Amino acid sequence: MHTQQDCRGLDAQDPLRGLRDLFTLPEGVIYLDGNSLGAMPKAAPARIAQVTTQEWGQDLIRSWNTAGWFHWPQQIGDKIARLVGAGQRELVATDGTSINLFKVLSAALSMAQADAPERRVVVSERSNFPTDLYIAEALCKERGLSLKLVEPDEIAGALDASVAVLMLTHVNYRTGAMHDMAAVTAAAHAAGALTVWDLAHSAGAVPVELKNARADFAIGCGYKYLNGGPGAPAFVWVHPRHAERFWQPLAGWWGHAAPFVFTPDYRPAAGIQRYLCGTQPIISMAGLDVGVDTLLAAEPLGGMAALRAKSLALTDLFIELVEQRCAGHGIGLATPREHGQRGSQVCLTRQQGAYAIVQALIARGVIGDFRQGDGGQRPDILRFGFTPLYIGFEDVWNAVEHLRQVLDSGEWQRPEFNQTHAVT
């Protein structure tokens, strides 16, 4: 059994401990929601101020060339590629996650149907993040296809000759469960289907090997574990074997082979550049760049493998301490215990009061979040994300101690913790 003293010792020995200094974290807060909005890098305000006061304010339109604004989607994309097992010039930072999903799912469906028009089904998980399901539903409706939603253990069985695309989120947002990307991709390919992977809860959280897994398409989020800031641009990757086969439906001028020739007809750029659409939000891009740099700062210390080892140690410790110190309060575990099946978050369940318990913790400075269940098979979730860049072992101890006190005292039953806010 770990003591608080042990946890301090683990922090003292942690080779990644210094990376915490790259972030602004408010005094008295234990931030366990970096899976929803990553913490702010200390370098972000000055960098954003540089973009506004100097590059925009003084250099004006010249900055597209002088500051290199035009190349940022590719340059930042090349940095993100290093975190997800993609090659250089294969990934771009652009648009939002939902929009990028529309682009790649559309391209994947065009490809699949050109090769096998009889394949008319998109398979996904019922517990996938809703925006992914909504985008897929809309695209299927538009194309007269059908969307089939299954449970995780039904995926393999659903891969038959009718399936065009298997669209999955690598790490489930509700449970933290992680798919074996290589094995699932191989099964999809064996069944003749293409794969689209959403890396929203994977990029910067767990090692990802897109190319080694022979994945077909991937997208991911910039403001979660990549620390890019609220609404930061997302990213999109297409395996080079597919990148030039079709162009994506949002064929804007930034994806044109020669945008500044201003021709009336569309000619797609080579490779991943055609997945750009229009002018990018440069101020937000600067935030994303600084956020991605916090992950690259771990490269000399072992990179994603070292971050993963620490993340597993943190989540193991959290599970152990909750089970020991909060026993008897009806707390369950929704996240798999097996390392190979877990992302960087731990999701707890409770029949009643999950929302209020999370609110009581937030009032104490322990910030996690709540995800609603369906009153039946899907329980209410208390969700805690562990960003190994800035969370330490003593933070885990303290977070569990607060949870224990909230449960033991019944503090969560106070009326103020039972009022629902617009954003949970």
- Give the interface segment with ligand PLP, choosing from 95-103, 245-253, 259-267, 296-304 (CB under 6 A): 95-103
Q: Which of residues 234-253 bind ligand PLP (CB under 6 A)?
A: 234
Q: Where are the strands (E) in 291-359, listed by range?
A: 332-333, 345-349
Evaluated on CA atoms 251, 136, 93, 188, the torsion sign reads negative
Instruction: Figure out which of the listed residues 221, 317, 346, 399 binds ligand PLP, where binding follows CB under 6 A.
Output: 221
98 belongs to the binding site for ligand PLP (CB under 6 A):
yes
Number of Cβ within 10 Å of residue 7's Cβ equals 20
Q: Mind telling me the catalytic residues?
A: 129, 198, 223-224, 383
Helices 4-13 & 393-409, crossing angle to 10 degrees? 150
What is the smallest separation between the CB atom of 249 and ligand PLP, expressed in angstroms?
17
Pairing of strands 366-367, 30-31: parallel
- Give the interface segment with ligand PLP, choosing from 13-21, 126-134, 315-323, 327-335 (CB under 6 A): 126-134
Identify which of residues 42 and 378 has a Cβ nearer to ligand PLP in the complex. Answer: 378
Distance CA 412, CA 359 (A): 7
Identify which of residues 85 and 233 has a Cβ nearer to ligand PLP in the complex. Answer: 233
Instruction: Figure out which of the listed residues 23, 31, 69, 173 binds ligand PLP, where binding follows CB under 6 A.
Output: 173
125 belongs to the binding site for ligand PLP (CB under 6 A):
no
**Residue 150 three-state SS:** strand
- Give the interface segment with ligand PLP, choosing from 58-66, 118-126, 127-135, 401-409 (CB under 6 A): 127-135
Number of Cβ within 10 Å of residue 408's Cβ equals 12
201 belongs to the binding site for ligand PLP (CB under 6 A):
yes
287 belongs to the binding site for ligand PLP (CB under 6 A):
no
132 belongs to the binding site for ligand PLP (CB under 6 A):
yes
The first and second tokens of residue 194, run together, are 């293409």
96 belongs to the binding site for ligand PLP (CB under 6 A):
yes
The first and second tokens of residue 223, run together, are 């403001």
* Residue with tokens 């993609």, as numbered in its chain: 86
Binding mask 356-385 for ligand PLP (x = CB under 6 A): ------------------------------
Of 333, 321, 342, which is closest to residue 379 (Cα–Cα)? 333
129 belongs to the binding site for ligand PLP (CB under 6 A):
yes
Number of Cβ within 10 Å of residue 254's Cβ equals 20
| Cα 12 to Cα 7, 265, 355, distances in angstroms | 9, 61, 34
**Residue 164 three-state SS:** strand
Q: How many residues bind ligand PLP (CB under 6 A)?
A: 13
What is the residue type of 144? G
131 belongs to the binding site for ligand PLP (CB under 6 A):
yes
Instruction: Figure out which of the listed residues 63, 127, 162, 169 binds ligand PLP, where binding follows CB under 6 A.
Output: 169
Identify which of residues 385 and 392 has a Cβ nearer to ligand PLP in the complex. Answer: 385
Number of Cβ within 10 Å of residue 313's Cβ equals 16
Identify which of residues 230 and 410 has a Cβ nearer to ligand PLP in the complex. Answer: 230
Residues within the interface to ligand PLP (CB under 6 A): 96-98, 129, 131-132, 169, 173, 198, 200-201, 221, 234
